[in-house]
């Protein structure tokens, strides 16, 4: 080629693939990052069992004893997880879910156990709802004609919040989708001097088919469905409205549940509020990946990380997932 002659460019000038060429390059320009601190592990503790009980529809997940729960919490803290969300499964249920308020009830004991085990190394969260404790399986008390009584239920949520606070919880998660629940819980906590306890509001919680395995996990007694108080999956604007109402009432974080079928809602809520947004990667989403992987149809570990990254990419600051502990190990070994 003659001196001073510029070679003709025969290929594309812009080549986005340059930044995908090596693992180091891909890490450097990654737009979305998942870290263990952004992950919350939901855990189940069951009264009256001597050893952990596997949950058939959720391979790898168990109903814990109080002892095994303490060990799981310590492991979560060692892994650097953001927190644990505790769900209690009582031996006995009744129409008003009285075990949820009893200081000696399984959930209140579990809160104290975990706080005593991990201290400030892990955020201890509690599910503030009656459904695990009622013999009819609904998230509140019923009227004589079988409807959920919103305002009477709020009175019990206030009592439950005080019980969780007395047990030492860091954050309560009102999840029953009762109108006004965040305000009532905030007022109840503040009136007892628990002004530092934060609220993760289950703001956009949909009546979803993907909750199925969870009902096995908590030995649900549900009669009928929850469509009169959980949201219609056809609606996204409603989810944003609920989140905004919860922020007005004092929520410190808001949540969208489920996650994968509602990534558009996650994004819309993230754009609308000025508090952190959580999303719950629910039991049915977990079970689908596990079942497909067990059949050899998908590559399990990459699918887990891709799932969690997609939820973060949609705008979630925090992700509740049954893979939290495993994902933390995968992330730190990459």
Element (H, E) at 305: helix 300-314
Q: How many helices (H) and strands (E) does the chain have?
A: 11, 10
Closest CA to 214 of 310, 263, 159, 284: 284
| Dist CA 83 CA 122 (whole Å) | 5
Two structure tokens written together for 292: 């497909």
Tokens 């799981």 belong to residue: 72
CB within 8 A of 249, min separation 6: which ones? 180, 182, 183, 186, 201
Annotated catalytic, 205? yes
Asked if the bond preceding 56 is cis, omega within 30° of 0, the reply is no
- The SS3 assignment for 223 reads coil
Set 46, 136, 186, 257: catalytic member: 257
Q: Which of 205, 226, 268, 270 is catalytic?
A: 205
HEC per residue, 145-207: CCCECHHHHHHHHHHHHHHHHHHCCCEEEECCCCCCHHHHHHHHHHHCCCCCCEEEEEEEEEC
Separation between Cα atoms, residue 72 and residue 162, nearest integer Å? 25
Is 257 annotated in the active site?
yes
Residue given tokens 């989708």 in the structure block? 177
Q: Which residues are catalytic?
A: 205, 257
């Amino acid at each position: 080629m003659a001196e001073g002659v510029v070679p003709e460019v025969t290929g594309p000038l812009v080549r986005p693939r340059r930044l995908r060429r090596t693992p180091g390059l891909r890490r450097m320009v990654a737009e979305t990052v998942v870290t263990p601190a952004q992950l919350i592990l939901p855990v189940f503790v069951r009264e009256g069992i001597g050893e952990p009980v596997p949950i058939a529809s959720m391979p790898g997940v168990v109903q814990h004893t109080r002892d095994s729960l303490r060990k799981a919490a310590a492991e979560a803290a060692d892994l650097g997880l953001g927190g644990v969300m505790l769900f209690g499964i009582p031996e006995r249920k009744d129409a008003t879910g009285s075990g949820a308020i009893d200081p000696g009830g399984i959930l209140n004991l579990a809160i104290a156990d975990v706080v005593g085990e991990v201290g400030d190394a892990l955020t201890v969260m509690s599910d503030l709802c009656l459904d695990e404790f009622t013999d009819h399986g609904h998230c509140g008390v019923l009227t004589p004609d079988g409807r959920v009584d919103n305002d009477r239920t709020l009175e019990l949520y206030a009592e439950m919040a005080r019980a969780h606070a007395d047990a030492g919880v860091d954050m309560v998660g009102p999840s029953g989708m009762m109108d006004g629940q965040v305000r009532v819980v905030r007022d109840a906590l503040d009136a007892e001097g628990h002004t530092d306890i934060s609220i993760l509001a289950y703001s956009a919680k949909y009546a979803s088919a993907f909750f199925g395995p969870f009902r096995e996990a908590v030995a649900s007694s549900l009669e009928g469905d929850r469509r009169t108080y959980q949201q219609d999956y056809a609606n996204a604007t409603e989810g944003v409205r609920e989140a905004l109402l919860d922020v007005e009432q004092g929520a410190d974080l808001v949540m969208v549940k489920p996650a994968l079928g509602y990534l558009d809602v996650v994004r819309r809520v993230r754009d609308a509020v000025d508090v952190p947004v959580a999303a719950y990667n629910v039991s049915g989403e977990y079970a689908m990946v596990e079942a497909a992987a067990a059949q050899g149809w998908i590559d399990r570990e990459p699918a887990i990380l891709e799932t969690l990254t997609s939820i973060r990419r949609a705008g979630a600051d925090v992700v509740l997932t049954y893979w939290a502990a495993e994902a933390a190990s995968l992330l730190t070994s990459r």
